[in-house]
Amino acid sequence: MGQNTKLRVHPWRLIWRFLIVLLVIYVVAFGVFFTTFFNVDWVNWHVEPAVWDFRQPLIIAGIFVVGVAMFIPALTSSYYIVDKHSFIVKKYGRETEFEYSNIEFIDIEMSEKKKMVIFYSKTARMRYLLGDKDGILLETLIKKCPETMSREEFRRRHPEEKY
């Protein structure tokens, strides 16, 4: 692995997260457009299925197109850049840099179990990162973080953290 290695986020992990978000968007949109999908008599509290015209398929197609339009940039703009002294997380055009020396604890067990990278910075702030396809980011963190502590020591120093 050379200088400034670019690692892509595992695509299936990103797809599952995105599908969950898209499902929430569909539920909210259905709630907003409820009266479009059903004939509602608010006086007698009676609900009948609406006769479908052009509006209902147009709403469904519009939400689908917006979902795909949001997913493509998410897939292409999410990656990690591993450097000699730090790594950079690029998401949606934003960059967040983490220096290896500021990582206090890496939860290797949960990271491997969940196929993610879970670590705490020196301020005891937990970070979850979607794993890359080959697990290179986790291996790199394990090798290059000089001051990581054991689980017991981390719990003793930060009892307020929900671990």
pLDDT digits (tens, 9 = 90+) for 83-141: 988 999 998 788 999 999 889 999 888 888 888 899 988 876 888 898 888 888 999 99
DSSP 9: B
The three-class DSSP label of residue 54 is coil
The three-class DSSP label of residue 126 is strand
> Does the pLDDT at position 68 exceed 60?
yes
Average pLDDT, the chain: 84
pLDDT of amino acid 119: 92
Contact 109, 45 (CB under 8 A): no
Which of these, 111, 157, 119, 161, lies nearest to 135 by C-alpha position?
A: 111
DSSP 100: G
- 162 falls in which pLDDT band (50, 70, 90)? low
Beta strands 46-49 and 38-41 are antiparallel
Window from 42-46, 76-80, 84-88, 140-144 with minimum mean pLDDT: 42-46
> Does the pLDDT at position 55 exceed 60?
yes
111 to 11, 34, 40, 67, 119: CA distances (angstroms): 17, 41, 49, 29, 9
> What tokens appear for 75 in the block?
């897939």
The three-class DSSP label of residue 76 is helix
> Of residues 161 and 114, which shows the higher confidence score?
114
